[in-house]
């Protein structure tokens, strides 16, 4: 059942996981973040994705939002550390090393980090790790 991070199958399963945990999450700090993920080991090697927490749950999907307040360019391994391993320390190290390039409102990233660390998302995080190859 494990799927490569950000594959179509992984995205579909992640949607279901976050939907199941949605009622337990409550209000997240609203953030809309576009991502360009580089060094993807499948497809064309790069993909566009976004994170949107404005509905009160965490939505991770492919494509860019028209009205995102921040855009980041991040390599695949760092994105995986952030969303699957939920390792903010690794993300901070990657940022300081220039592996994460930010354009726009940096506070949106801080909101996302706070959302990922919410206790309500810990069960979702365990399920996300279980579906990730």
Q: Which CATH number does the domain housing residue 69 bear?
A: 3.30.1050.10
Secondary structure of residue 47 in the 3-state scheme? strand
Residue 2 domain-assigned (yes or no): no
Q: What's the pLDDT score for residue 119? A: 60
Residue that is written with structure tokens 């499948």 in the block: 42
Residue 25: pLDDT band by 50, 70, 90 thresholds?
Answer: low
Residue 70 domain-assigned (yes or no): yes
- For residue 53, give Cα distances in angstroms to 28, 49, 88: 6, 14, 18
Residue 3 domain-assigned (yes or no): no
**Per the structure block, which two tokens stand in for 12?**
């579909």
Q: 60-80: per-residue pLDDT in tens? A: 899 999 999 999 999 999 889
Residue 63 domain-assigned (yes or no): yes
Residue 133 domain-assigned (yes or no): no
Judged by phi (left if over 0) then psi (alpha if -120 to 50, else beta), residue 26 lies in left
The residue range of the domain holding 73 is 8-125
Residue 1 domain-assigned (yes or no): no
Residue 130 domain-assigned (yes or no): no
Secondary structure of residue 38 in the 3-state scheme? strand
Q: How many domains does the chain have?
A: 1
Residue 77 domain-assigned (yes or no): yes
């Amino acid at each position: 059942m494990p799927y490569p991070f950000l594959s179509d199958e992984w995205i579909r399963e992640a949607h279901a996981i976050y939907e199941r945990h949605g009622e337990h999450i409550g209000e997240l700090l609203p953030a809309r973040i576009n991502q360009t993920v580089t060094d993807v080991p499948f497809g064309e090697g790069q993909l566009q994705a976004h994170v949107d927490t404005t509905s009160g749950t965490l939505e991770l999907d492919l494509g860019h939002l028209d009205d995102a307040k921040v855009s980041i360019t991040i390599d695949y391994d760092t994105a995986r550390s952030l969303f699957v391993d939920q390792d903010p320390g690794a993300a901070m190290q990657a940022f300081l090393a220039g592996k994460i390039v930010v354009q726009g409102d940096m506070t949106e990233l801080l909101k996302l980090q706070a959302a990922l660390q919410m206790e309500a998302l810990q069960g979702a995080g365990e399920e996300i790790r279980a579906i990730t190859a």
